[in-house]
Amino acid sequence: MTALEHYANRLHARAVRVCEAASSLEALRKVGILREGAVAGVFVNGEVPEICKPAFSLGGEPPLFFLEDAVHGEHLRVPDVRSLAAAAHEAHASLVLDISSPTSFGCDPLDAGASVCVERLRAGVYAVCVARSGKRGRVLDSYAEQAFRSLVPEGDNSAACRDALERAYSSSYQQSLQKRFDFARAFAEYAAANPLIDSCWYPGLASHPDHAAAANLLRHGFGPLVSIGLSGESSSLRVFQLLGGTEVEHLHLLGGTTVTLLKGGSGSYLLFNMGEGNVFELIDRVDNALRKV
C-alpha cells in the first residue's frame, strides 16, 4: 500500500490530492474543488452565523461552508462537527474543515460528517481529502459527490509533495506527534492547577466548553496546543520576555516548543505549541518566570 493510500485510509477518504499551495484555500482551488473567482466564507471563531445563508456558492452547485481551523482562537475552541454538518445539510450545503492544527493523526473530520478536509502537511504542501459519500453509515452528501467529480485527475508529483506525504505517514512522525499531545496534556494539567495562572484553555480539560465535541473529533489525545491567560495587562508580555521572547516574534524553546504572545478578547495570552522537549523542564521554566512577575 502506498503512502497516499495509507493517508486516505486513515481519514476514511474516498480520494486524496496532494499539491503545493500557499494556503488551504489555494489548495482547494488547485485540486478543482473551488471554482476560480469563488470567495471563501470563513466561520468566525468557529461559529456559524446564519447558517441558512450560504457563505458562497459554486455557480448553482451546493454551497460550501469553510471552517478555517479545527482548533482555533484564544480559547482553543473545537467545533461540534456532527452538528455543523447536519446544519449544513439542512441548508443544502456542506462542511469543509481545515485540520492542519490537530493533523490527520489527531482527528477524523470526514467520519464525523465533514464533506472535505484539508491539511497542511508541511510549509507549502497540502493534502485535500473528499469523504466517502453514502458509505460507512453516512447519508448521501451531494457536495462530497460534486467535490469528487470536480477533482483534478492527479495531485502534484513534486519531490516536496512526495516527501511530505511519506513523512505524514511515517511511524517516527506519528510517535513525535503522540509525544507532543501527551506533553500538552501534562502542561495543561499543571497550568490549570497553578494559582498564578488566571486561565488555561485546552480541549482535554473537563472544564473546557468544547470538551465533549473535542472527545468526538480528536484522537490520540487533544492536540499540541495550550493557551494560558494571566491577570494584568503586562503579565503575559513579562512572562514571555522572561522566557526569552520579544513582543514581535515567536519564541522557540528547547525541544521544538514554540510560545506566541497574542492579543485576545480579554487581553494578552500565551499560546504554547508543544514540542518533544522535556515537559517538566518547560514547567519549571514557566514556573520560575511566573514567580518573578
Residues 16-30: pLDDT tens digits? 999 999 998 889 889
Per-residue pLDDT tens over the stretch 182-233: 999 999 999 999 999 999 999 999 999 999 999 999 999 999 999 999 987 6
Sign of CA pseudo-dihedral 254, 258, 260, 264: negative
Per-residue pLDDT tens over the stretch 90-118: 766 778 899 999 999 999 999 888 889 99
What nine digits make up the cell of 52?
Answer: 441558512
| Better-scored residue on pLDDT, 29 or 141 | 29
Q: pLDDT category, 62, cuts 50, 70, 90?
A: low
| Model pLDDT, residue 138 | 55
Per-residue pLDDT tens over the stretch 28-40: 889 988 765 444 4
- Over residues 231-250, the mean pLDDT reads 84
Residues paired with residue 19 on neighbouring β-strands, in sequence order: 126
Count CB neighbours of 272 within 10 A: 24
- Tell me, yes or no, if the pTM score tops 0.95: no
What nine digits make up the cell of 164?
Answer: 511530505
| Model pLDDT, residue 267 | 78
| Model pLDDT, residue 265 | 76
Q: Which residue reads 481551523 in cell numbers? A: 69
